[in-house]
Amino acid sequence: MLQRARAVLVWSKTHEGKKIIRFTAVSVVSTAVSFASISVLYGFKIIPGVMWATLAGNLIASLPAYHLNRLWTWGKRGRSHFRSEILPFWSMTALGIAVSQIGAFWARHEVHTHHWAHLFNTALVSFTNLFSFGIFWVLKMMVFNRIFRVHELEEIDEHLAAEETTRS
């Protein structure tokens, strides 16, 4: 068990480990923004429809997700490239929102079928969106890792790993 913990600690200091930890942190932030946005928009009846509130909440969360991932996770600076960064990110975001809309469709059905309190309905809508994005998380990580790959850092990471192996 202790060896496994050490291995995870060593891995977390590699370029790949740091990138995955950062991606996870950005996902937590964007999920929290989405969850809060949907809860406020639907809960306070600013947007009374389940589908529209879910769409709006996810669009709000996508803005910090793009910028945080681009700058912090993948270390990209300067102008965004439309074909290699913006288009793939927004395509995946649209696909994620589509998955969340399927969840929202189900939640809307439950809300209209049952006569629960609005607070319970709001929790159902918000947690359904959370579950939908949870399903989508691993796929996004794999795709974004390929989009924003920084080859120089990978080569350095491989070199450092090789050095550590020769020292052991």
Q: How far apart are CA 33 and CA 66, in angstroms?
A: 13
What is the per-residue pLDDT across 117-168, written as a single tens digit (0 to 9) for each? Answer: 999 999 999 999 999 988 888 777 777 667 666 555 555 566 556 666 666 6
Split at pLDDT 50, 70, 90, the class of 51 is very high
Neighbours of 117 (CB within 10 A): 8
Residues 51, 44, 130, 128, CA torsion sign = negative
Mean of all residue pLDDT scores within the chain: 87
**What's residue 23's pLDDT?**
85
pLDDT of residue 155: 55
Q: Which pair of tokens denotes residue 136?
A: 């989508």
Domain of residue 74 covers 2-167
> Total domain count for the chain?
1
The structure's pTM equals 0.78
SS3 of residue 114 by DSSP = coil
Contacts of 70 (CB under 8 A, 6+ apart): 76, 80, 85, 89, 148
Query: Using CB atoms within 10 A of its CB, is residue 119 exposed (0-12), middle (13-18) or buried (19+)?
Result: exposed
pLDDT for the residue 156: 56
pLDDT tens per residue across span 56-81: 999 999 999 999 999 998 888 899 99
CA R_g for the chain: 19
